[in-house]
Amino acid sequence: MNMPDPQAMASAWMSQMTDPSAWQAMFKAPALDASPVASLLKDAGATIPPQALETLRNDYLQKAAGLWQEFLSGKTPALADRRFAAPEWLSNPMSAFSAASYLLNAEFLTAMANAVEAGPRERQKIRFAVQQMVDAMSPANFLATNPEAQQKLIETKGESLTRGLSNMLSDMQKGRISLSDESAFEVGRNVATTPGQVVFENHLFQLIQYSPATPTVREVPLLMMPPCINKFYILDLQPENSVVRYAVEQGNTVFLVSWRNPDPSLGGTTWDDYVETGAIKAIEVTRAISGADKVNAFGFCVGGTIMSTALAVLAARGQQPAASLTLLTTLLDFEDTGVLEVFIDEAQVALREQALAKGGLMPGRDLATTFSSLRPNDLVWNYVQSNYLKGKEPPPFDLLYWNSDSTNLPGPMFCWYLRNTYLENSLKQPGKLTVAGSRVDLGAIDAPVFVYGSREDHIVPWKASYASMHLLNPGKAGANRFVLGASGHIAGVINPASKNKRSYWTNDPAPVAAPAKGKGKARARVEGEAAAGAAIAPAGQWLDGATEHAGSWWPEWAAFLAANGGKDVSAPKKPGNADYQPIEPAPGRYVKVRAD
């Protein structure tokens, strides 16, 4: 089944607008009908039960008749959708009716998708595809049906349309929609500014050692592993919302991996390389420079998957270099991957393998498009309306600037990751995978773990984050701690303690459930469950007993690091050591290389 791509839809929209013979498309919003859903059902071999379809039709006709009667009587329909919250939508009866009709049609198409008889994965694909089309057809996306854009056109005497066309042409040259005023930021100038030095580099990453901010530090250093799927400075945006700066100010000696943005010379790099030449090498250098036997290991998103794999490989080699492990919005058990699973099945993975498994790059632009499609109204159509229809310039926003700073991935690494984790979920099964010459058993990692999940995360569902509790420290339920934060995959993590925003939940100690009958620990282990997987209560039970706290979860993490940081020692007077001399100031060269 072909999946609609909102960025491609927007690109087609942009391309059409530059063709004088097609300008009328800008002034006409296509009507919503059921034919796209019918096509999707045919492609997927799915059906809707006749009785369910008849019920949906009758409900639709009844609501449509009621909406028409409201329009004839001059009553303004309610518009419970923030896309139509501006007063221009309600002050114009035709616009209000257009928006209300759209919402009714969207409700009907969504209900059709939900009524489909198909397997869970196919149903999710159909729902996702329908939602993409529904969002694209919003009357807010077209000048003739967007009263806000029309009012702006009148007020500016046409200048808004001229500016909008200029913005659109500029974005077409860049090959992406502008989400932020990119001229307002520069890596190393006003983002990624925490002081430090690059103390090691190889062809895959640079290692940054940050300058201490306290006279004494804990003897166990903190090694931070960001995701390689985007730039590290999501953890070091501006001083007031920098996770790195906060960790330094808490008295930690902080090291951080800055992944290289792959070019064709890295097109043959594998997952094993990221683990051995990346994570394991970073652990080795951090220990050598700090003089500590262990590190407080940290991984964010896929960085957590890489770090956990590396620690399992080292455990298989008889080494336990982690004093603790922090995992933020990380998947180790890929049973529930949320909406991302619509992009991953045998056919799609095999297609990627055919193109990239033997070499090449997965373009960062394609990855960015995938993630934008998860929130098309926020990351695509909102900017089509604002930048092009209204001629506005996007305001400066550090997080969205980072979001547009894409990274490529080596094809072999990307294909291995897709198949062995998302598709086959093999990482959680002890001994099934061999990485860097060693059998991987996550349960062999001997370190207390701090697991964080975001409650509204659409990339790593929080219950999937919680699943790591079952895999790590089997038989030691008290060694793992789970904290649940409000908001999503990024905003939930980047929640500075100084802002006192949002909230988080704790439930300590984590509730314990009785083992399943007939399954001893050894058997559970063989079957790939957390050895004491039956000993840790399900995520729902954890949440039922959890306590909500106002503010940021960062202090909870800081306390965890302090508890595993060892004694206080004098802060290092200079970065590196005799073997690893400073190379250049943070943030280094690698992070400044753009994929586009």
- Of 350, 382, 400, which residue sits at a domain end? 400
Is 384 found in the same domain as 447?
no
User: Which H/E stretch holds residue 254?
Assistant: strand 254-259
415 as an active site residue: the answer is no
Answer whether residue 3 shows pLDDT above 60: no
Same domain, 30 and 16: yes
393-438 pLDDT tens trace: 999 999 999 999 999 999 999 999 999 999 999 999 999 999 999 9
Task: Give the chain's mean pLDDT.
Answer: 89
Picking from 12-26, 47-61, 73-87, 433-447, which range would have the lowest pLDDT averaged per residue?
Answer: 12-26
pLDDT of residue 433: 98
- Which one from 301, 445, 469, 510 is the annotated catalytic residue? 301
Q: Residue 307 is encoded by which pair of tokens?
A: 């770090």
d(CA 535, CA 477): 7
Tokens 């390389």 locate to 273
327 and 296 in a common domain: yes
- Residue 267 resides in a domain: yes
- Spatial distance between the Cα atoms of 92 and 378, rounded to a whole number of angstroms: 25
Identify the residue whose tokens are 């180790």: 332
**Cα(first)–Cα(last) distance of the chain, in Å?**
29
Instruction: Read off the pLDDT of each residue in 172-188 and give the average, rounded to a whole number.
Output: 92
What's residue 528's pLDDT?
39
Mean pLDDT (whole number) for 80-108: 93
Closest alpha carbon to 503 in 480, 482, 481, 484 = 484
Which residue(s) pair with 569 in the sheet? 217
Cβ contacts of 332 within 8 Å, gap of 6 or more: 304, 305, 308, 427, 428, 442, 467, 468, 471, 472
Grade residue 46 by pLDDT with cuts at 50, 70 and 90: confident
Give CA–CA dist 300/17, Å, rounded.
Answer: 40
Q: What is the mean pLDDT of residues 184-196?
A: 97
| 459 and 388 together in one domain | no
Quick one: pLDDT at residue 89?
Answer: 96
Same domain, 420 and 521: yes
Residues 47, 104 contacting (CB under 8 angstroms): no
One domain for residues 547 and 426: yes
Is residue 281 domain-shared with residue 390, that is, in the same domain? no
Tell me whether residue 273 is in a domain: yes
Q: 284 and 156 in one domain?
A: no
Angle subtended by helix axes 35-44 and 120-136, to nearest 10: 150
- pLDDT per position as a tens digit, 350-391: 999 999 999 999 999 888 888 888 889 998 999 999 999 999
| Res. 513: pLDDT tops 90 | no
For residue 180, is it within any domain? no
pLDDT higher than 90, residue 86: yes
- Percent of the chain beyond pLDDT 70? 88
pLDDT of residue 22: 41
* Cis, peptide link before residue 509, omega less than 30° from 0: yes
Residue 206 is part of a domain; what is its CATH number? 3.40.50.1820
The better pLDDT of the pair 521, 468 is held by 468
Give bridge partners of residue 467 from the DSSP assignment: none
CA distance 476 to 494: 30
Please tell me the least confidently modeled range out of 118-127, 130-139, 540-549: 118-127
Name the nearest CA neighbour of 227 among 205, 200, 198, 249: 205
Same domain, 291 and 384: no
> With 50 as the cut, is the pLDDT of residue 530 above it?
no
Chain segment 53-70, per-residue pLDDT in tens? 899 999 999 999 999 998
Answer whether the bond into residue 587 is a cis peptide, omega within 30°. Answer: yes
**Residue 183 maps to a domain:** no
Highest mean pLDDT among 366-370, 437-441, 530-534: 437-441
Q: What angle do CA 168, 169, 170 make, to 5 degrees?
A: 90
pLDDT at 168 over 80: yes
Render the burial of 301-331: b for 16+ CB within 10 Å, e for the rest: bbbbbbbbbbbbbbbbeeeebbbbbbbbbbb
Same-domain status, 381 and 515: no
| Structural domains counted in the chain | 2
Q: Could you tell me if residue 387 is inside a domain?
A: yes
Whole-number Å distance between alpha carbons of 467 and 445: 16
Q: Which domain holds residue 156?
A: 6-175+374-400
Please provide residue 142's backbone torsions phi and psi, each rounded to the nearest 5 degrees: -130, 140
> Above 90 in pLDDT, residue 38?
no
Asked, for residue 454, whether it belongs to a domain, the answer is yes
What digits encode the pLDDT tens for the residues 552-578?
Answer: 999 999 999 999 999 999 999 999 999
- Worst-scoring range by mean pLDDT, 20-29, 234-243, 271-280, 501-510? 20-29
Res. 118: pLDDT tops 90: no
Distance separating alpha carbons of residues 473 and 481, to the nearest angstrom:
11
C-alpha to C-alpha distance for 342 and 363, rounded to whole angstroms:
19
Backbone angles phi, psi at 72, to 5 degrees: -65, -35
Residue 496 lies in a domain: yes
Give yes or no for a contact between 199 and 289, defined as CB atoms under 8 angstroms apart.
Answer: yes
Same domain, 430 and 505: yes
Residues 380 and 309 in one domain: no
pLDDT of residue 529: 40
pLDDT at 246 over 80: yes
- Dihedral-angle region of residue 588 (phi above 0 means left; psi in -120 to 50 means alpha; beta otherwise): left
Query: What pLDDT does 126 receive?
Result: 87
What is the dihedral sign for C-alpha 26, 32, 35, 41?
positive
Q: Is residue 366 part of a domain?
A: no
